[in-house]
Amino acid sequence: MLYENENTEFKSALTGDIYKEVIAFANNGGGVIYIGVDDNGNEIGVADVDETYTRLTNGIRDAISPDVTVFCKYSLNENNVIKIEISEGARKPYYLKSKGIKPSGVYVRQGASSVPASEDQIRLMIKMSDGDSFEGIRSLNQELTFVSAKQAFEKYGVEFSENKYRVLGITTDSNDLYTNLGLLLSDQCKHSIKAAVFADEDNTSFLDSKEFTGSILRQLDDAYSYLMLNNRNNAEFKGLERVEHYSYPQEALREALLNALVHRDYAFSGSIIININESQIEFISLGGLLPGLSAEDIQNGISQPRNPKLAEVFHRLRLIESYGTGIRRIFTLYRDCEKKPEIIVTPNTFKLILPNRNYYSTDKSEEKALNDQQRTILQYIERNGAITEETAQNLLGVKRTRAYVILKEMRDSGLIEVQGRGQNKTYTF
């Protein structure tokens, strides 16, 4: 007598839940389903073989994706029992079309039962079928919209329509399912950019923070606008000409942001981090350098994109010119600056640091202004015994961040000392 087990399933009659059994066997090592056998293994047969067989074959073809019919073999014995032999499929995960590639639609075999697969099991099946390239793997979310992407493509004068999805890599070549590249460009993109402004160079005291979500094309625009809001413009007049001195070259900010988006490892769920303080901006993206590359290679223009299809999308939009030039261009923009950009690489992160050019400027008038401010603070401490950061801010008529920087420089120079911490912190001789 047969028994239900990991590879055997009994059905007394054809019901709708048979599709999850077929899916479970195709997603595992294969198995056999008997229709017309009760739970005790007794062959009771089916009443109308022709009608049952037609419903069964049509249902398996129409309800399951990808097409699993090539892995199903049907036979009938003398007791009108239909036997379905299911081989392990080659395009896992198989799933209910009505549910999609998610736990409610993907099933695996667990003992003598077919149960919903976990998201980790689904990801593993996709990776085994599609390979290791994140952007080319089928997305778990197949309910995607592209409002922001369409707007971005129109902005840059590039056609964006469904008949271009395969060419761009937004859908797979075989069955038009959305890929992870499609997910990144979609309004449902789960990755984000987090930016924060700090009052101190240790990046511990928050002044402001933002998180940018949605399509990475929208994140690019929103994050760049935020960076420019924090890009101070010190202007001066030379004769009748107004000369602007931005803290950061606008093109350097753009290239640093594009580099973080194009080269980050999206297999990690964390966000791109941008830290802004008075002296510098840090761009931190997940995923270190690809094997064989060094920070010096990157600085010299050698590039091996982790996400070539995403890079190609940015290239089509003329956001990047060619691979490897962005970092080199950043260093060129800082050619005449006292402080140079810095690249710090760990096994799982890539950090690019852009110095604030105005902060590191050696302009003599700025040095004189700073000395006058120091003198004002020293005179206040002499009269009152101590000064707080808030008092220094009001006394000098500067922003909180600038007051902190001036006091820190005076402390580092040995002009003043710090007493207490937090709200009780003061500066004295």
CATH number of 83's domain: 3.30.950.30
Q: What is the mean pLDDT of the chain?
A: 88
Q: Which of 215-229, 259-273, 339-353, 377-391 has the highest mean pLDDT?
A: 215-229
Q: What pLDDT does residue 1 have?
A: 59
- Residues 264, 394: one domain? no
> How far, in Å, CA of 350 to CA of 388, rounded?
37
Give, as one character, the DSSP assignment of residue 123. H
Q: Answer yes or no: is pLDDT of 401 > 80.
A: yes
Q: Answer yes or no: is pLDDT of 27 > 90.
A: yes
| Nearest of 99, 124, 123 to residue 19 by alpha carbon | 99
- Residues 279, 415: one domain? no
Domain boundary among 114, 130, 146: 130
Q: What pLDDT does residue 241 have?
A: 58
Q: Please say whether the beta carbons of 324 and 151 come within 8 A.
A: no
- Residues 337, 387: one domain? no
> How far, in Å, CA of 27 to CA of 71, rounded?
11
Q: What pLDDT does residue 383 have?
A: 83
For residue 248, being part of any structural domain is answered with yes
For residue 227, being part of any structural domain is answered with yes
For residue 156, being part of any structural domain is answered with yes
For residue 73, being part of any structural domain is answered with yes
Q: What pLDDT does residue 236 have?
A: 56
Q: Answer yes or no: is pLDDT of 369 > 70.
A: no
For residue 1, being part of any structural domain is answered with no
Helix axis angle for 325-333 and 250-263, nearest 10°, is 150
Structurally, the chain folds into a number of domains equal to 4
> How far, in Å, CA of 192 to CA of 205, rounded?
22
Q: Which domain holds residue 120?
A: 8-130
Domain boundary among 355, 389, 413: 355
- Residues 315, 287: one domain? yes
Q: Answer yes or no: is pLDDT of 377 > 50.
A: yes
What mean pLDDT do residues 64-68 have? 92
Q: Which residues contact 384 (CB under 8 A, 6 or more apart)?
A: none
Helix axis angle for 250-263 and 308-316, nearest 10°, is 140
> How far, in Å, CA of 148 to CA of 125, rounded?
30
Question: Helix H segments across 241-384?
Answer: 250-263, 295-299, 308-316, 325-333, 364-384
For residue 416, being part of any structural domain is answered with yes
Residue 142's pLDDT band (cuts 50, 70, 90)? very high
Tokens of 320: 């990047």
Tokens of 256: 């640093």
> How far, in Å, CA of 197 to CA of 65, rounded?
48
What mean pLDDT do residues 242-260 have? 87
- Residues 55, 158: one domain? no
Tokens of 184: 């990144």
Q: What pLDDT does residue 269 have?
A: 84
Residues 312-364: pLDDT tens digits? Answer: 999 999 888 755 578 888 999 999 888 999 999 998 899 999 999 988 874 44
Q: Count CB neighbours of 220 within 10 A.
A: 21
Residues 67-118: pLDDT tens digits? Answer: 999 999 999 999 999 999 999 998 899 999 999 899 999 999 999 899 999 9
For residue 314, being part of any structural domain is answered with yes
Q: How far is CA 355 from CA 3, 13, 200, 331, 337, in A?
A: 71, 72, 15, 11, 9
> Among 180-189, 195-204, 223-232, 288-297, whose mean pLDDT is lowest?
288-297
- Residues 178, 200: one domain? no
- Residues 144, 268: one domain? no
For residue 411, being part of any structural domain is answered with yes
- Residues 15, 116: one domain? yes
**pTM score of the predicted model:** 0.66
Q: For the chain, what percent of residues have pLDDT higher than 70?
A: 93
| Nearest of 165, 5, 8, 166 to residue 84 by alpha carbon | 8
Helix axis angle for 400-412 and 389-396, nearest 10°, is 110
- Residues 120, 141: one domain? no
Residue 387's pLDDT band (cuts 50, 70, 90)? very high
